[in-house]
Amino acid sequence: MSLNCNEINLVLSELDLEGAFLQDVVQPNFDSLAMYTFKPGAPKTVFVCLASGACRICETRRKITKNEKPLRFNELLKSKLKGARICKIEQIGLERIIKIEFLRAGTIFVMPKAQEKFAKKSKNREEEQADEKFSLYIRLWSNAANVFLCDENDVIIDSFFRRPAKNEMPGEKFVLPEIKNQTKEFPIRDFAETKEKIRAENEKRGFFGDISFNEIVDLFYFEGASSASIGTLLEQAQKWHESHKNRLLNALEKLKEKRTQFLNADSLKHSGDLILANAHLFRSDSNFIECEDWETNQKTRIKIDAKKSPQENAQEYYTKYKKSVSGLESLENDIARTQKEIEKIDLQYAQMTAEKNPIKLEQILRKTQTPKQLEKKSHPGLSYEIDGWTIFVGRDADENDELLRHFVRGQDWWLHARDYHGGYVFIKNRVGKSVPLEILLCAGNLAVHFSKARKNGSADLYYTQVKHLRRAKNGPKGLVLPTNEKNLFVKIDESILRKLEENAR
């Protein structure tokens, strides 16, 4: 049950926010706000919750977890109200709508008196000097809660929830409901059990003072909301864990089946040998050949393609044999990587079940549900971390140019395939250390892999420090001309590429 009108009045009277300054605004999730206010000797954190059935405003002393991603309404409030003074705060009648009036002082220009007669203030500058007035309306109606930031004429600048059907959008006029005479009485709840719990905790700490209504409200709703939301969030976490783990377990099972087939690769070569040795038994109307196996001295049946010659059928078995032998090492790496992913998911789920803060749990869960393609990257292209060395890879002209302009410095190393189109590879410099041959080969493999020379499996590279690169005049985007370059021949090593893939960031 949300706070009623009389409870809201009691909360506001205890808060005593008139004259306080707004220091910061934090929006931890999609249904709450926290305003950090300061008054000499009385800093307070005012928590506003818009969740259905738990709409409230109260002081809180709990740590408010910031959202990792900047949220629209929160950023707007910070830009408009940070540093503003609260002139007035009241509930409109008994309508559970709180109005907070803010005054934000304009810019003050200070100059020597001797220069005042020469100063010419433009119209824009005068506007910057003017004070700004804002009204923040907090509507604590269950199933229709909202927060509106309005100008001094009550025109909505923006709202917490945008609802076009109800004209709760920027540019619309905020209209207060018709204030009615209340005939029904709304008693202030005593929250006896919660109050007793707070008193017991305070006595343990040696505090025997009065307990404010704000403290009681904060604990009552926090405990109720935490137990309800944590239960719901843990159900979501369990579903996420089961779906992702089952998908990986199925993939692991298929990989293991494929490994069993690869381990029997010698049988493929043996089948090819039997086909060539018994080519005279081929028949154009049969998809099988029956012959004696000299290893077992028993009759065996081998599947063939009747449309192809014995030599072509044997070659198919030899090709499968070669693929099995060469692919076994790669397959073992795929199995190990899949097992690591399963362990990682189990660890993430264990962290979720151990988390007691519902807001933090919601943020962790949201992060795990974000597709990898939508995760915000700190730099363009790809990056790898090997033995303390960082390698950047630009895969196209845009990424190459962006890395060159903003993410590498003169002492960093640059590699590129000679005579082939391809991406740029950069090795970040480490002060006092020269680049080891192993790291140079890793970067060289990436330079060949992300170039047109990839099909050849090898290429000549030139490498030099970034300070020796010169942009081509009137050339295409990202094109550079190297000087003081050295040559390096690199043949792609699949084991190095697999190692790099495991260390991708």
Give the whole-angstrom CA distance, residue 408 versus residue 429. Answer: 9
Is residue 226 helix, strand or coil? helix
Render each residue's pLDDT in the chain as its tens digit; 505 residues.
Answer: 789 999 999 999 999 999 999 999 999 888 899 999 999 888 999 999 998 888 999 999 888 888 877 889 999 999 999 999 999 999 998 899 999 999 998 765 555 655 655 555 544 444 456 789 999 999 999 889 999 999 999 999 999 999 999 999 999 999 998 877 765 678 888 888 888 888 888 888 888 778 899 988 888 887 765 554 677 778 888 888 898 899 999 989 988 888 887 777 788 888 888 989 988 888 878 888 889 888 888 898 888 888 888 899 899 888 888 877 766 767 777 888 889 889 989 998 898 888 877 767 777 777 776 555 545 567 788 999 888 899 999 998 899 999 998 899 999 999 999 989 899 999 999 988 999 999 999 999 999 999 999 989 899 999 999 999 998 888 888 888 999 999 999 999 888 888 888 777 7
Residues 6+ apart with CB under 8 A from 216: 191, 194, 195, 198
* Sign of the dihedral defined by the CA atoms of residues 365, 366, 369, 375, in that order: negative
Task: Give yes or no for a contact between 447 and 428, defined as CB atoms under 8 angstroms apart.
Answer: no
Dist. CA 268–CA 274, nearest whole Å: 10
404 close to 478: Cβ distance less than 8 angstroms? yes
